[in-house]
Copies of this chain bind each other. A is one copy, B any other.
Amino acid sequence: MTLKDQKSDISARLKEARKLAGLSQGQVAKILGLHRPTVSEIESGRRRVSADEINSFAEAYEVSGAWLLGEINETLETNDPRIQLAARELAKIKPDDLEKLLRLISSMRDT
C-alpha cells in the first residue's frame, strides 16, 4: 500500500492548518524539532505522521487532533431489542462502579 492510497488525507489538513496559523514550513520545523524538508514531505503526503507528531502539530496550529485526523461525527439509531438484554448484564455491576464505568466509557465514546 502506497502512502498516497491512504484514505484519510491528513496532509491537506496539516497544510491548511499551518497557513491558518500563519506559519512557514521552516518555522513549524523549528517548533517541532523537524527538518524543513520533512514538513514538506508530510504536507505532500509522502511521509507519514505519527501520533505524537499529530499532537505537536495540533498544539502548534491550535487545532484539535481530532480535526487533523478527519474524524466525522456519526449519528446512530438507538432502537434495538438486544439492548435490554445487555442492560440486564450491566445491572449486575454495583452502582458505585457503574458510575465510574460510565464516565470511563463516555470519555472513550465516539462523539
Question: Which residue of chain B has the shortest Cβ distance to A1 in the bound complex?
Answer: B33
Give the number of times this chain occurs in the complex, counting copies. Answer: 2
Task: Kindly state the interface size class of chain A when it binds its partner.
Answer: 35 or more
Determine whether the beta carbon of A83 is less than 8 Å from that of B110: no
Q: Identify whether the interface residues of A are mostly helix, strand, loop, or mixed.
A: helix
Chain B nearest CB from A88 CB (Å) reads 11
Mask, A7-29, CB within 8 Å of B = 1, is 11010000001001000000000
Determine whether the beta carbon of B71 is less than 8 Å from that of A87: no
Show the binding face of A for B, using Cβ within 8 Å. 1, 6-8, 10, 17, 20, 33, 48-52, 54-55, 58, 62-78, 80, 82-83, 85-87, 89-90, 92-94, 97-111
